[in-house]
Amino acid sequence: MKNLRGKLIPAGAVLLLLALGYFGLRILKPSDQDAGDSKNSQQRIESVNLLPVKERPFTTIIPRADGKEITIEVNRLNEAKEVEYELEYQAGTLLQGAFGKIDFSKELPPVSRNILLGSCSAGGKCSYHENVNGGSLLLRYLDGQTTALKGEWNFQRMSQEEGRFSSRDAKFTFDTGETGLGGSTVVVVAQTMGLPGPVDGEVIAGPYGVFLPKGVTLRSTEVNLEIRLSSEAGSAKLLGWTQDGWKEYASRVNGKSLSAIVDAATTFVAVAPPEQS
C-alpha cells in the first residue's frame, strides 16, 4: 500500500498540470467564435466616398415647413439596380434613424422618400422627436459590387440661429441676417455628395446645399456666404445652381477661405479654373 500510494501522487500531479495547461490555453487563445466576431467587426468597416465628386449622384434633403419631416431625393449611380439608404440624426441626446431601399427598376430617378422625424403608432397617433439638429445620410448602391457614399446634414431653425446657418463640418456658412427669413423657418444645410450639373475645373470645396421648405424664399437678396477651400488657391470660382444651370458669383479668396454675397438658397460649389494649355 505504501509503494502504491507513492506512485499515485506523481500521477495526480501530472493530471493537475495537464488540466492547468489546458485551461490556461483556453484563456489565452480566443475561441473560434471570438475570432470570427473580430473578423466580422473589421469587415463591417466600409469605405465611403471613394468616387470623385464629379461622378457621384446628386442628393437633396428638404425640410417640411413644420420641421417634423424631411424629404430625401436620390439619383441613380450609373447602372446600379438599387440603393439602400440609412439616415441618422441627433435628437437631443438620442441618435435616431430611418432605413430603407429603393429599387430603380420600379421607380425612375430621382426618387424621393418622406421621412418622419418621429414615430407613429398602429392607431395613427404620432409623436415627434425634439431638438433635432441633423446627422448623416449613407447611400449604398448595389450592382454586383457595393459603392457607399456618405454626407452630413444640419437641421437648423431661424429663431435659434438668428440667420447664420452652417454645415455640420463647419466649413460652410450662409448668413441671411436676422430678417432674411421668417422666424419659424427650418433650414437644412447638407453635403449633396454629387453635383446637379457638370462643372469645368477641379472641385476644391463643396458641394453644399441650402434647402428651405417648399414655398419659402429668401427675403434678402444679399446673403453672406463663406466656404473653406481644400487647399490654397490663387484663383477660385463660386458657382450656385439655378434652373438655367450654374451661376458664377463674384468672390474673394483669402488663403483657404472664399467669401461672396449671394442671392439664393441653392447648391454651391467652389472650383479651381482649369489650367490653360
Across the range 227-255, mean pLDDT stands at 92
The grid cell for 206 is 463643396
Rounded Cα distance between 249 and 251, Å, is 6
The rounded distance, in Å, linking the Cα atoms of 59 and 191 is 8
Q: In what order do the strands lie in the sheet with 94-103?
A: 94-103, 82-91, 132-143, 145-157, 186-191, 202-211, 267-272, 237-242, 245-249
Please write the tens of the pLDDT for every residue from 63-85.
999 999 999 999 999 889 999 99
Domain-by-domain residue ranges, the chain?
53-272
Query: Mind listing the pLDDT tens digit for each residue in 171-205?
Result: 999 999 999 999 999 999 999 999 999 999 999 99
pLDDT at 160: 94
Put simply, whether the predicted model's pTM sits higher than 0.85 gets the answer: no
Bridging pattern class, strands 251-254 and 257-262: antiparallel
Task: Please calculate the CA angle 265-97-145 and round it to the nearest 5 degrees.
Answer: 90
User: Would you place residue 10 in the very low, low, confident or very high pLDDT band (cuts 50, 70, 90)?
Assistant: low
Confidence of residue 44 (pLDDT cuts 50, 70, 90): low
